[in-house]
Copies of this chain bind each other. A is one copy, B any other.
């Protein structure tokens, strides 16, 4: 029985991790722009094409864990207590995510992102993808067949909250401030169509 992933998949995962770790280390040591894909490949002892078979682009090397992020967002909606309203649950999770980004461990990475136009642009596209997933989760939670404009709007607003908070002097306060606005927007969007 192959309950655990076989050696093949373990090796693949190991290669992937080695590439990602090496890349992040080099980026932080020498700067994102100063490190080429060829440098990463050489240091990780793999071929350039192998890097691109694991990651779609150079920027993707930095946002390796973004699926984690996405799942936390959607689970904040789908996995919340039955009696907890939607928006506060979302607020709590975004709070946690923002706090996580300001960790000493994660801060240098985000500083690097802020300093590189290419990475900033890529992060936006990642955020938009997350907003789409979130919109789908919200629609599902409401029993809608597919995301309405209101669902998508709230999801984008939440993504904006995250983005603005990261740039604010007091990130946590910014989350609260924007979420007061989102709460009002959500109520104005009309009744969640239940009962």
Contacts and interface: CB of A to CB of B under 8 A. Distances in A.
18 contacts: A120-B125, A124-B128, A149-B168, A149-B174, A150-B177, A150-B181, A153-B160, A153-B177, A156-B164, A157-B181, A157-B185, A160-B160, A180-B188, A181-B188, A181-B189, A183-B188, A184-B185, A184-B188
Given A120-B125, A150-B181, A157-B160, 13 more contacts: A124-B124, A149-B164, A150-B177, A150-B178, A152-B164, A153-B177, A154-B181, A157-B157, A157-B181, A184-B184, A184-B187, A185-B185, A185-B188
How many chain copies does the complex carry?
A: 2
Contacts of A178: 149-150, 153
A55 interface: no
Interface of A: 120-122, 124-125, 128, 149-150, 152-154, 156-157, 160-161, 163-164, 168, 174, 177-178, 180-189
Nearest to A168: B149
